[in-house]
Structure 1
């Protein structure tokens, strides 16, 4: 999160405007459905921006230090909270730079209505993972509507608009200019801000062929379509092909209801041994990406090739096994959230990120906060390929290598951090040459050990 201070500063100004009308009911939806997803800091930031929105065309900016003081949080937390609101479609951020002054405009969007929220695969799945099945069912019941169902003994007696109000029919045929102008000004554009599934994630998965494998099962094709996004997420996360995923789905159908038990499917897939399988990104199929990137060593290119061959969970499993560890449930959850939010269209980028955290930064496990920080930084730098991700890692070390000056006893000292060997351009693993003298000494030791062993026996 070090680069946060380059993307946002306390002195930067901000103004707030709203794209939708916000109501008390929106506050309820935000509290019960969105707050578990975004966390308390992002929730507080949204409510504070709600109170700061400008109602007039004249906008006066305030410094971000105002938000920091009112929320009692640091700048990285504020920036991370803002990105969470952006990812959930609750705000859009715009930046304007004039000379040395930078101003952000935050446009607030109302949360999705409950019916749209629960119908959206990404939002409902993320809420299910966070709160669990019992709480998820409680929230569904809390926001479920109960419209009146017509029956033989229930007659509607409501009056229509024209039954109560009388309007000049001539004015209806030719509206006054003021009314026509108001219609134009208050026309709401048909835009959506809710998270969308990146279609590139389906590039190597044949959905009709997958459904065909389940024609003889108890689950209906319509229900499979309802779980489209969740099933594709499992495919990308674990590297499952159509036949393997169909087999797991078939084993996870509840025979009492003939419905897919999604939590059981996730548990079943997570228990299976990992395997080598190509990731689902489109980058591997692009001939331009197969060309070695400038500035990348042979080792870097080999790592990128491996990242394209393994699914994220498989890649992490092999990294942990090399270090004598194992993949925890929380780490699988971290990877699942990255995949479900479609942070990166190419899963091989997630593998590069995993390698950076585990092997380069020497962290024992993947943590949600740190992974989100790295992923946000890469997104800000437009990382869309594993080659770009590798360049981002090397760029980070080059920045650390730059000399820093400190004052001590009126003398300037320079401290330099050494760039790791693997990050050097053109790096090759050293080859050790064994001399004849070294080989003879080793053989002599082995003969002595064997003689001692024979004597003891």
Structure 2
């Protein structure tokens, strides 16, 4: 991210706090905001929050001191600041006065856990970031876990203030900037076209397009990058019998529409590289394949993962479990459809035609880091990795064999033994050694015996 010229280490800043912080704001920051904006943004928010309590509003410090305190370079601090602004936790004002020149950071209190889950965009962002199981675990803890027990006998306003009359007209409360900017900083879209569509369907627009619903619709449109006609279908799908909108059904409809789009299942907009890649794929599809491998690559470039699973199942419909695995991996790793097809084909061949989630996730993360874009690249990469794996396995087996079977003593051939025996036979035998003293004693004993006789 280019921050050159926008902020300097010597630029000063001062911090103000808008509104009041909820009691459990630290829980919201750690478990709900942090998975979305990252640890650096949360650390910056807490550092500025403590700066506001330590220093007065007239005092200011420099970003160089902030860099020393956080142990981060200025570009990462600037990026973290933008995330806080986008998520609705900070407003930034540039000040150029005689007494002070720099920035004023207005911190906005985060939502409480219950308010966080009531915000459609924040809850949806958290859902995609931490997964289904963890999301429902936190939702049950912060919402369902705090539900009150017993019968609700709370008095209503009408029963207590019945008969009260006011002489003046109703007071119009002006919405402050602070209230407007709670939650993610999203600009609302133009709803005139949607109101016109609802009128055609005999649905009162004022009941569907409330202030809260307009904000949710804007959030889902930006989050999933949906077109107007797609938002129109999702809204009409979620309209209930009493002409209101079911928010959960609307969110699910937006998610399903996004998953069905041919956008490589990613939240990012299409980049120029991807556009040129599509042209390259279109050109490659016009060429007639010659070998079996080229035919397979052409099929994997054009077919969808769902069709591939059905073809590999002898025409039977792919199971919901397999489609869920493929969907989650494509969404988390951002793999293009042709690369995902090669991955499916490779995993099925390696694991006896079974789709193992852990095995696929391991390979998918590797392929995602390798930045593979086409089926041809993925197939060549898979072959290369397989050759390296086979070579390592062969070396390992050879080493283990020699460890278990150490080398025996050298085998001596028979001709060498016979040659050695002949050489020993030709050598003269050494004469026996005579003990002279012993022979003298034997001779003296022999003479004595004969002398007596």
TM bucket by the smaller chain? 0.3 to 0.5
The structure with more helix, counted as a fraction of residues: 2
Normalising by structure 1, report the TM-score: 0.45
More contact order relative to length (CA 8 Å, sep ≥ 6): 1
Normalising by structure 2, report the TM-score: 0.45
